[in-house]
Amino acid sequence: MNLINKEVVHKSFGKGKIVDFADTYFVVNFKSGRKSFIYPDAFARYLTLVDKKASEEINRVLKKHIIKQKEEEERVEQERILELEKRQRKLEVEKYLKNHRIHHSSQVAFNCQEEELDSIFSEWKVFVGAIKSGKNQGKPNKLVRTHQNSACIITLSIPGMEEKDRPIVGVYMVEETFVGRMREDGYIPAHSKYRIRLKEEEYKKLPFWKYYINNRYPNSMTWNSGRYRYFDNIWMAQVLRDIVSMKEDEERDLAKEFFEYFCLKNQINENEIPEAGGVLMQIK
């Protein structure tokens, strides 16, 4: 819209003529001198166009502008609310972690299907599954033992595979501020650095049952249909130590860093970790 040479009336300065116009401002020449105004805001408060047709067009522009302003204000307010919620959650997490005592079995192993793997390892998060009965049926599980010291093991269930051969195909530390009981969406996100997807030739050497044992049923190698199992902290350290031993060069460096970070978070002495003692090791 071209407003050059259009006459206007200002509440204080009287009549004037627009002599310069741009996208966000315009200049009016009054008897008292030139004045700059914000476009189109000034027409809603101080100025009126003498030309009726131009005035109607400005009113349409103003309506669109006001709608856009309100949308922007709502967006900014929403961001402010989200930021406040984020800060509040951070304070709650920090308070909770300050008083948190590490559970001896606060790692988690997941039973995954092959079609899930690409999604898990591209998004680096795993869904814990839904509650199957009771008043909370259908809601995501909350793994209350999982905290910033926890790691996740991704195991693969392959049709026709013997259960004893179930491989560990990936591992990751949880996000640094993760607290399982506070997570509402049912996902466990990975740490930005400490996460490893194993190659096929690697995971074939890393059977889950080498590490895991149910003390009530020490000879059992049955997973059944459950989505996850808690996994001892020491067992996880054994898994990571074995991953370090099979890696080379830069991959080995990352695996070693991961192992050391895990031991630090779980207060484990790297030199006092026993050999794996899962079911497979008992029946050999």
Total Cβ atoms within 10 A of residue 234: 19
pLDDT digits (tens, 9 = 90+) for 41-78: 999 888 999 999 999 999 999 999 989 989 999 999 99
| Secondary structure string (H, E, C) spanning 44-77 | HHCEEECCHHHHHHHHHHHHHHHHHHHHHHHHHH
Parse the chain into domains and list their residue ranges.
7-68, 103-283
Residue type, 134: G
CA neighbor of 3 nearest in space, from 53, 45, 46, 44 = 53
Q: Identify the bridge partners of residue 8 per DSSP, sorted by sequence position.
A: 16, 49
Does the domain at residues 103-283 carry the CATH identifier 3.10.590? yes
The confidence score (pLDDT) of residue 45 equals 86
Put simply, whether the predicted model's pTM sits higher than 0.75 gets the answer no
3-state helix, strand, coil in the chain (%, to 5): 40, 25, 35
The confidence score (pLDDT) of residue 184 equals 87
CA neighbor of 170 nearest in space, from 217, 118, 223 = 118
The confidence score (pLDDT) of residue 148 equals 87
The confidence score (pLDDT) of residue 99 equals 64
In tens digits, the chain (284 residues) has pLDDT values of: 788 999 999 999 999 999 999 889 999 999 999 999 999 999 988 899 999 999 999 999 999 998 998 999 999 999 999 899 888 877 766 665 566 678 899 999 999 999 999 999 999 999 998 888 888 888 988 998 998 899 999 999 988 899 999 999 999 999 988 888 888 899 999 999 999 999 999 999 999 999 999 988 889 999 987 899 999 999 999 999 999 999 999 999 999 999 999 999 898 999 999 999 999 998 76
The alpha carbon dihedral of 163, 164, 170, 172 has a sign of positive
Could you tell me how far CA 50 lies from the centroid of its own chain?
Answer: 56
d(CA 39, CA 47): 11
Gyration radius of the chain over CA positions: 32
